[in-house]
Structure 1
Amino acid sequence: MCTPFIRNHQLNLIKKQVGQLQQACSTVSDPKVIESVRSNAPFKVMEAFPGATEAEQRLLGGFAPLNKPQEFQSYLQSLENYMLPFEKVEEKQLKKLFPKVKKLKVPDLAAMDLRYVTYLGWTDIASNKMFLAYHLNGRLVGVEGRFTPVQKKSVCFLCNRHEEVALFSAVTKSRPANASPDYYKAIGNYMCVNSESCNKNITDVTVLERFISDIVL
């Protein structure tokens, strides 16, 4: 049995590819089209696991020969045993990330299934602030920014899905040489209002890690 190695965003990618194959099997009559999806879907999954062992590759490609909805569902359920959860954090760790925020309200960590968390995100409506916590290069880092709801759906820059979004704007800590004392630069993007939904949709952490790096490094 493989040790846990599938992160939440990778599971979301697998679900997407499995769903495409299942849909093709259910709705497409042309065998050539189905076989094309059957070949391409596992390949796209493998791309997300460049260092996978042979055993892990067999598991990841296990949905390729499936045909029936219940078979796909059983396959996805079997992956739960191989989920690598978001590293456990405590309330005091989150508060330490934002020392300037008095009476920081943190999410209910005990109620979360950390297997399905790519990043921790929560809002403080009273102060119009959003907070993110993420393990970047083995270190827990936090980003605090202004949270401005826009009352409409748009594409989230993290999960690339059409959801209810807000403008999340954070001030970067990096400063050019010879910058004036009052220099600052804010980076803003449209982001899911509901981080739980975003965590269910996100399939790649490249943009997330680049954004956090631009803010904290």
Structure 2
Amino acid sequence: MSKPFIKNHQYNVIKKQAEFIQSTLRNVADQRVLDTVRYSALTNMLEAFPDLTEDQQRMLEQITTFETAYDFQRYLGELESYLESYPAIMPKQIEKLFPKNKKLKVPDLQSIDFRFVTYLSWVDIAAGRLFIVYPFEGQFIGVEGKITPTNKKGYCLFCNRHHELAFFLVKTKPSIPSPDNYAAIGQYVCMDNQVCNQSITDTGALEKFILSVRK
């Protein structure tokens, strides 16, 4: 059996391509079109995996053989056992990432299925603050900022999907340090981080933002 090799965002790519194939199967009868769609879906999946063994690639290639919704559902279910979980983290580690926040409310980590997490985040509603913890190159990066609901839908910076948005504003170090001088970076992100984690298929925009505001 292959060891876990599928990250959450890569699993989302697979789900998206499975939905693409199923939609085509329901609406298109031309076998040539179906073959093209299957090939395109597989190509998009493989592009999300820079390093695959032959066994892992053969496992993913099975998606091109399915015909029924049950086949796809079973396939996705079986792939869950190959999900690479978000790195283990303890509440004390999270607290150390936000040393200035003495009243930090750490989420209930026991209730989270970390197989389906690309970035850990939670909102302190009373304080109007959003916290993000992201694993990068063997360490965790913590980001804190003000969050303001927009009550509108739009495209999230992190997952690039059309969801309910909030404006996330993070203070950063100014180019010229001064007690009265500060810089800030703001972006529109999903109000619901669970929905975002279920939608994200590429970590590029997320990582760029995290690294731009890290302290």
Partners of 2:41 and 2:94 in 1: CA distance: 38
Alpha-carbon shift at residue 59 of structure 1 (Å):
1.1
Pairs within 5 Å for 1:60-139: 60-139=60-139
TM, length-normalised to structure 1: 0.95
Aligned to 1:199: 197
Alpha-carbon shift at residue 172 of structure 1 (Å):
2.2
Aligned to 1:216: 214
Aligned to 1:165: 165
Alpha-carbon shift at residue 60 of structure 1 (Å):
1.5
Partners of 1:206 and 1:190 in 2: CA distance: 16
Alpha-carbon shift at residue 125 of structure 1 (Å):
1.3
User: Which residue identity does 1:196 align to in structure 2?
Assistant: Q
Partners of 1:73 and 1:48 in 2: CA distance: 20
User: Which residue identity does 1:214 align to in structure 2?
Assistant: S
Unpaired stretches in structure 1, ≥5 consecutive residues: none
Aligned to 2:13: 13
The percentage of aligned residue pairs carrying the same residue is 45
- Secondary structure, counterpart of 1:141 in structure 2: strand
Alpha-carbon shift at residue 38 of structure 1 (Å):
0.8
Aligned to 1:184: 182
User: Which residue identity does 1:109 align to in structure 2?
Assistant: L
- Secondary structure, counterpart of 1:62 in structure 2: helix
- Secondary structure, counterpart of 1:89 in structure 2: coil
Partners of 2:108 and 2:152 in 1: CA distance: 27
Question: After superposition, what is the alpha-carbon deviation per residue over 1:55-91, rounded to whole angstroms, capped at 9, x for unaligned?
Answer: 1111111111111111111110110110000011111
Question: After superposition, what is the alpha-carbon deviation per residue over 1:94-117, rounded to whole angstroms, capped at 9, x for unaligned?
Answer: 111101112111111001110000
Partners of 2:101 and 2:16 in 1: CA distance: 38
User: Which residue identity does 2:95 align to in structure 1?
Assistant: K
List structure 1 runs of 4+ shifted beyond 4 angstroms: none
Partners of 1:134 and 1:12 in 2: CA distance: 18
Partners of 2:55 and 2:182 in 1: CA distance: 49
Alpha-carbon shift at residue 180 of structure 1 (Å):
4.3
Unpaired stretches in structure 2, ≥5 consecutive residues: none
Partners of 2:57 and 2:140 in 1: CA distance: 29
Partners of 1:148 and 1:65 in 2: CA distance: 46
- Secondary structure, counterpart of 2:63 in structure 1: coil
